[in-house]
Amino acid sequence: MKYKVEWKYKLKGNEDVHFASDWIDGELALLAGEDIERSGKGKDVIYYDEIGTSWNTKEIRKLLTEVEEDPHDITVYFDGGFNKETNQAGLGAVIYYKQGKKKYRVRANELFDEMDNNNEAEYAAIYFTVNLLEEMGVHHMTCEFKGDSQVVLKQLEGEWPCYEENLNRWLDRIEEKIKKLGILPKYRPIPRNENKEADKLAGQALQGKFINSRMQVI
């Protein structure tokens, strides 16, 4: 989650001047806010997150201590592979996140039956990753979703329309789950060669090789 710091600058003999920072990491935002307050030149320091929630310095300090113990700084890679002969989909998910001072990677896949096409497999893969996030205890966090299906990602963003009834049902499921978890999603299309981990996991699921692992990233 990124934060913005806003404050009023005390200008002698004139009205206060309002300032705002760029979107920055929580720890940096807190350091900046504390420094502004210590200087005696700033007042009414307020911190905003990307969802629009606001805190004062005491509240943000407590929040960041609590957040540090939860999964955060989350990036998700997903991919769905479709076998038109069996109408099965292999779903692959790779999740990078921080917890405490350590960084972790989750790798998982699954096989879904009765799929209609590759786009449905991609939607199922995103739904699979969101369920993994729920199992990890992720809530009220910014999550970046990266995949090589631009169509699906643009439809999730609402930039492109989705006319297929079956895909709209998947879209509704995903949006409902994301809303329930309080996740602020950011969708980023990437080239296929940058999505090799998730693609491999999807292919392994179609081959009957199932993986569910968590490891620390050094």
CB 102 within 8 A of CB 81: no
Strand, coil or helix: what is 11?
Answer: coil
Q: How far apart (Å, rounded) are the C-alpha atoms in residues 130 and 181?
A: 9
State the burial class of residue 184 (Cβ atoms within 10 Å of its Cβ: 0-12, 13-18, 19+): middle
Query: Which DSSP state fits 81?
Result: E
Longest Cα–Cα distance in the chain:
78
pTM check: above 0.75: yes
pLDDT per residue of the chain (218 residues) written in tens, 0 to 9:
788 999 998 877 777 889 999 999 888 999 999 999 998 888 899 999 887 889 899 999 888 887 777 888 899 999 999 999 999 999 999 999 998 888 999 999 999 998 889 999 999 999 999 999 999 999 888 899 999 999 999 999 989 998 899 999 999 999 999 999 999 999 999 999 999 999 999 999 999 999 999 999 98
Q: Where are the alpha helices (DSSP H) in 7-148?
A: 26-39, 57-67, 118-136
Helix 57-67 × helix 26-39 angle, to 10°: 160
Decide: residue 204, CB within 10 A, 0-12 exposed, 13-18 middle, 19+ buried.
middle
- The SS3 assignment for 188 reads strand
Phi, psi at 53, each rounded to 5°: -75, 145
